[in-house]
Chain A
Amino acid sequence: MPSPMREPSLLLLTALTAGPRHGYALLEEVAALSDHQVRLRPGSLYQVLDRLKEQGLIDCSHHEVVEGRNRTYYVLTEPGTRELETEAARLEARAASARRGLSRLRSGVWEATA
């Protein structure tokens, strides 16, 4: 069974569903997507981006030169999209289990079966 995706990877892939993004934009979007609970630092960001690229989940779409400095834009690949769908389905299944458990708890079913 594949192991669950880590949160920074999940958030980065989610941020890229909006289209190609450069590193700094991804930092900002990850923070926004996680309600500022996950704040990636530049060193960690590029480490995760390199790993996702190695795994073929993202790719470089194009480069842009701004104020004499090169910016790389990243884009979600087809395998990356599939991986994100799988992870989203896994999380939904977990959330559904939790909700079922909570509704059983609230309806007092556990008392009857205990």
Chain B
Amino acid sequence: MNDSLWIRRLLAIYPASWRRQHEEEMLWMLQTEQHGQRLPTLATVTDLVGRGIEIRTANLLRPVPLLLRARTSAAAAVGLMLLSAVLLTVIEWHQPTTTSVALVGWMAAGLSILLGRAGIGRLLSVPVTGYALITALILHGDAAVGRAPLFVLLPMTLLGVLAGAETPRISRRDRLGLLRVVLLTACGMAVVAVSLVSLGIGEFFPLGYRGGAPWGFLHTVTIAVAAVVGGCLLLRRTPGWLLPLAVSGMVPLMIFDPAIDLLTRASPALIAMAIMLLVASGYGIAARMTPRAENSQALTRRAQSR
């Protein structure tokens, strides 16, 4: 394949309307910039592919308001981080699969966003989601070194796509509030879990996606207590949405756990926890980020000034 054809194929990642306008000039520029090298540098290729995906995504999402996209992205990234943390702690730590890598990546992406590095969070979530999708397509879930089952991996991949589709926006106050919730709830859960195990009350680990020790009443109580403890600790300084977080942590697990268990036999608590975490994080972000018109205008101005 000659160089020009190679670059043309690379530029196919851009929409046709963009190519009609810029392709010839871009081709000339890339060939001039190569300074005698046969192919563009890796940095140039990465830039081309990244911008191409960004332009295509922007065209696709143009009808959806920017503020809504930014909020959805933030909620998806934070929910994904929490879900990844739970999966890593209760299952993958003992039975690692190829999904562990994606879970660590999604946690890093969510944490970056909570630490105020939304751009880095988005940059991380795109390749990690790509990796998760590829493993979902090519690996078998029951193989020795397989992946998490599709009922876990595909919804997470969808969240990853949402997280990467726009640069997430969370105000500083919300970021710090969420960060506090995450850290203190994790500490509360760890303290309760260690206490129960050291007292010899029940067998806490290991848990599996489809096997291992069943997720029973004890685990439900543990999580519920941890959620309430974390919530009470935080209520002093945090707003009203923390209470729904604690309640939503308890109700689905306490009520729906046995029913789902009978119906599916597929780690029902995990599904319930996923729902709880996503609803709680989405609710928390949506409730705290007041949808004022000036916010939307400021966001649009910021995006335009890039």
Contacts and interface: CB of A to CB of B under 8 A. Distances in A.
A68 B220 CA distance: 71
Give me the 10 closest cross-chain CB pairs, A-B, nearest first.
A43-B51, A41-B47, A43-B47, A43-B48, A69-B24, A3-B302, A24-B29, A69-B28, A70-B24, A47-B51
Interface in A49-106: 51, 54-55, 66-67, 69-72
B27 interface: yes
Contact of B25 (A5, A44, A47, A70): A70
Contact of B305 (A6, A22, A43, A54): A6
A69 B25 CA distance: 7
Given A23-B25, A69-B25, A70-B24, A42 B48 contact: yes
Nearest to A4: B305
A24 B32 contact: yes
B203 interface: no
Most buried by B among A2, A4, A43, A55: A43
Interface of A: 2-6, 9, 22-24, 27, 41-44, 46-48, 51, 54-55, 66-67, 69-72
B52 A43 contact: yes
Interface string B1-43: 0000000000000000010011011111110110000000001
Contacts of B264: none
B55 interface: yes
Nearest to B27: A69
B22 A3 contact: no
A73 B32 CA distance: 17
Contacts of A71: 25, 28
Contacts of A46: 18, 22, 26, 51
21 contacts: A3-B298, A3-B302, A4-B305, A6-B305, A6-B306, A9-B306, A24-B33, A42-B26, A42-B29, A42-B30, A42-B33, A42-B47, A43-B47, A43-B49, A43-B52, A46-B26, A46-B51, A66-B28, A69-B25, A70-B24, A72-B25
Contacts of A44: 47, 51
Contacts of B173: none
A42 B34 CA distance: 12
Contacts of A27: 29, 33
Contacts of A72: 21-22, 25
Interface in B258-289: none
Interface in B287-303: 298, 301-302
B244 interface: no
Contacts of B305: 2-6, 9
A29 B54 CA distance: 25
B303 to A, nearest CB: 9
A42 B24 CA distance: 12
B44 interface: yes
A71 B18 CA distance: 14
B27 A47 contact: no
A54 B25 CA distance: 19
A49 B240 CA distance: 45
A55 B24 contact: no
B198 interface: no
Contacts of B27: 69
Nearest to B33: A42
Given A5-B305, A69-B25, 18 more contacts: A3-B298, A4-B305, A22-B25, A23-B25, A24-B25, A24-B28, A24-B29, A27-B29, A42-B33, A46-B22, A47-B54, A47-B55, A48-B306, A51-B306, A69-B24, A69-B28, A70-B25, A71-B28
